Structure 1
């Protein structure tokens, strides 16, 4: 209908995807009156001939609400069922369901009463097609004691059940009538206990739909398991943290083992260390002279001879600014000897 689905008889759900949980056939077994009425302020369309079409269902619902309001004070009234629609403007063939009558009551008299009540009902002053109510005239009424029961109860349930769901219904007799029930019907043998869930009849059979509770997750084919969302979150967090910790420990252990297994470069031998130390010491003496950096020590070769010369005619001492002056006592003794 643009904003919602108008479901066929004995269908349910926001998209008419479920079968009705229970079908009440009690009215089919009791007395009823078949009536005909002509609605003058509605236009007939060909799709209204099909009982499953949206046009037929919309008109049938409007007509049923109108008749319920008119017949509600009639003794034994149990509702109506629109059987068919035809042209002119809209001719309605419908059935009025009644409760069983007392032994001395006349069903024919009850049919005449229903006809009179329908024609005496108040109707809208404006009988245009846009009027809110229906303008109609009841034309006939025929009484019938009971619906024919040529079929047994199981076949009767399957005939009234939706086509794709009929195998899931079975008859259940009560003190006052007949019900076609499923495993989703409460308080009957074989009914499902869905705990806090909701039982719905699907194309695959009765199923429990678990609720989304604020603090729990429901699971199981009967919604019998409830898992705390807080506990589940903590468990997942602890499990993830423990996994990361284990991986970190493994990485540390692997790194340590690899570091310990790496070969070390051998250090220099003692002989090589001695040679290196000697070479470093030689580099500290200019021109390779070991005693050139010793301050306050000098040596003069030669005895007698000219000043500043040795016995071989030359002086073996080369004065250097890096050599300190000799002590005064040493100079004095040298001069006396000379």
Structure 2
């Protein structure tokens, strides 16, 4: 018997919340406990190789209970009488079927009908895998029938209201037909990953390989990365994320040095800044030199009063262009040597007749 959990719970008794765990995993102590065939922090990856060491087989059994009477309420599966009968029947039969050589996972009731009471039910048996599955099925079916015939309820001495006595002459055990060439990798692997597995190798174990399995033909080469099987997507290369390199490409075949990129970008920024500073300095120097050449080209002799007077009264400013209307002329004395002696003509005294008096 096992519990059937709601979608958001897991565990043998549905005691754990699934939370962020994927593919049937559930949370326990803040970590994901993954379902068989899956791995990863959130159970997001399927195992690259699955070894089938056990298999679930279905055995169909019909028995007749001779010391109980069929009730009309048994036709209603929601009735208390039906539920009580099924509970007592499963409890008794589990004690017969389950032993060290057989692992009973569940008993499923298919149908019950009158005559005292016939019960048609299925046994879900977990058994060790073997390549000849038909022979395994036959062997388990024979074990089930033998255990029924050897059980106390099937003996002629069976009596009592607390025991459901069986008619040993009316015990029918059959098995489901399984094709001899069945691909167990398509049958027993997780639903969302079945198409990515194939049988590989020989031996007592049945190995289901993927393109992430080491040594298989056509294995996915992930170079610097790691091959992982992702549900619904299949085998993919996952590139690492390290402090030394950036990895890229579908096969993680390209890598770039992180320190190299950071150093190159830093050097380029430094060169750009230095270039801008040098260009600014050269521009300022070129402008200053142009002003000096303008004054030099005018060849003004500041020691010559006539030339000075002509320059100051020419109606032009020091740039050689007429001043704008309404603007006052402002001389540029930047290149005047204030320590150089300037000879000025001595004023000539002119006497008038009036002044001679």
- Band the TM-score falls in, shorter-chain normalisation: 0.3 to 0.5
The structure in which a higher percent of residues are helix is 1
TM-score (norm 1): 0.45
* Greater C-alpha radius of gyration: 1
TM-score (norm 2): 0.43
